[in-house]
A = this chain, B = another copy of it.
Amino acid sequence: MPDPSSQASAAEGVYLDWRRRERCGFAEVVYGEGKSVDALRAILAEYAAKQEDALVTRIDPEAAQTLLAELPAARHNAVARVLRLPAEATLAKQGRVAVVTAGTTDRGVAEEAVETLDWMGVQTLLVQDVGVAGPHRLLERLPEFRHSDAVVVVAGMEGALPSVVGGHLACPVIAVPTSVGYGANFGGLSALLGMLNSCASNVAVVNIDAGFRGGYLAGLIALRAVTPERFAPAPSQENQA
């Protein structure tokens, strides 16, 4: 007999991919944009029933307030536009990822990355406002995160920070361009192209404003470094396509 909560979310055409943990190591993260409160409520009930930690990104502030009133165990980070249930991650923290921003207005995207890493059970350090126009700021803080397993660099405008950070480090750098800027920024295009053309060899790029994606990739890299055995395929996967 189908699970009633699953039916509720399915009514909006949302079918959760419950096999993802098995294939990909983590449960599905819920993309909140465009989903109704009813759909989100049903989805969160499915997660609770399966005893999975839920992470909802890009949640509408009003939807978050409604759900928070109903779910005392949840937590809402309004800057990151993220809802967490339960409020704290149930995993012990492992690995080290720094999330570095160029300017103040990049903070929302950076916090989405931090929340994602926290949900994955990765230890994070947020290093803010070290853009390249004030070069001493990065150099002062570099010792704090030189030991990272991966670094997420969040920057808008010309998107130069990942190249500079990448030139100082041996670990992979996940560059997240933001739409912060104006004029010839063209909605983040300037930062995106800058990062794709980075002269530092250790820089990979994700979509504009994709804080979740940046955090998720850095988290995969860091956890692989500390607990590679975790990523051995499940036996059930071995013999099937």
Contacts and interface: CB of A to CB of B under 8 A. Distances in A.
| Identical copies of this chain, number | 8
A48 B164 CA distance: 28
A93 interface: no
A241 B192 contact: no
A147 B197 contact: no
B190 A179 contact: no
A39 to B, nearest CB: 8
Interface string A52-76: 0000000000000000000000000
Interface residues of A, number: 103
Interface in A113-162: 128-129, 131-137, 139-140, 142-143, 146-147, 149, 156-160
Nearest 7 pairs of A and B residues by beta carbon: A183-B208, A160-B160, A139-B241, A13-B128, A25-B170, A204-B204, A190-B193
Interface of A: 12-15, 17, 19-20, 23-26, 29, 33-35, 39, 101-105, 107, 128-129, 131-137, 139-140, 142-143, 146-147, 149, 156-160, 163-164, 166-172, 174, 177, 179-210, 212-213, 216-217, 220-221, 224-226, 228, 231-233, 237-239, 241
